[in-house]
Amino acid sequence: MSETALKEKILSSPSQDSIQPIASYKDVYKSFGEVDVLKGIDLEIKPAEKVALIGPSGSGKTTIIRMLMTLEEPTAGEIIVNGQNLWHMERRRKLVRANESHLREVRGDIGMVFQHFNLFPHMTILENCMSAPIHVKGESKEMARDYSVEMLNKVGLGDKLENYPSQLSGGQKQRVAMARALVMRPKIMLFDEVTSALDPELVGEVLEVIRQIAKEGEMAMVLVTHEMDFAQEIADRVVFLDNGVIAEQGTPDEVLMHSENERLVSFLSRFR
């Protein structure tokens, strides 16, 4: 089924509530020491849905997506990916983490692109892409190479296969990071402020790749972003995080254009 058809089915179906989310957070809390960052997050992401996560700096956006990638553990609550529990509370309120093999399987469904690229500096960009399919998924070198070349072509870097990250611009590095996530064929892609470390003239080429992935793939996407116009353009749903809770969510129009939430209006005024 094409992405458009799938999305129409999901978004127009009266029974969309019955479609199993690809990821859900249930009453999730997170504290760092004395600081309570997240105070009861309930969030569901449906297959193929594009969600933009916005909010003031320090409101916990990155923490939310890092928990999905199992890079942070919640203080309390439940996180489910593709029907499998990552963390849950036992009856006596002890947080239980899935076992390692289970975690590996769940992580395989998720791709993440970071603000600071996180490429391996001693590997060519082709090797950067081939590494996880071979070492995490056990794919053959040949298969990993073919698909990595295909994904690097998709992000417009098919002529740079043998280059090292240090030889690329920031925008190009970020496009490699996207190809590297895509080669794992994730069901959900997480983008953590992927343009905020870039010079302004390099932002466009990175957004263009995300736009293309959003149009093509059946993947769900969660984007932490300060690019409000971009969120308006590609998101199905915008979620505003403030003071540790989801203070507002809805279509881009509802949240970015017509909300009466004072904190949100004040936050958005900084981008106009």
Q: Tell me if 244 contacts ligand ADP by CB under 6 A.
A: no
Q: Tell me if 58 contacts ligand ADP by CB under 6 A.
A: yes
Binding mask 26-45 for ligand ADP (x = CB under 6 A): ------x--x-x--------
Q: Tell me if 47 contacts ligand ADP by CB under 6 A.
A: no
Strand partners, 192: 224
- Give the amino acid at 47: P
State the Cα–Cα distance between residues 36 and 271, nearest whole angstrom. 27
Give the other-Cβ count within 10 Å of 83's Cβ. 10
State the Cα–Cα distance between residues 220 and 6, nearest whole angstrom. 11
With respect to ligand ADP, which residue has the nearer C-beta, 24 or 63? 63
Minimum gap (Å) between residue 66 Cβ and ligand ADP:
7
With respect to ligand ADP, which residue has the nearer C-beta, 39 or 97? 39
With respect to ligand ADP, which residue has the nearer C-beta, 63 or 259? 63
Which residues touch 170 (CB under 8 Å, ≥6 apart)?
A: 117, 197, 198, 199, 202
State the Cα–Cα distance between residues 113 and 174, nearest whole angstrom. 8
With respect to ligand ADP, which residue has the nearer C-beta, 133 or 244? 244
Minimum gap (Å) between residue 57 Cβ and ligand ADP:
4
3-state secondary structure of 272: coil
Q: What is the binding site for ligand ADP (CB under 6 A)?
A: 32, 35, 37, 55, 57-63
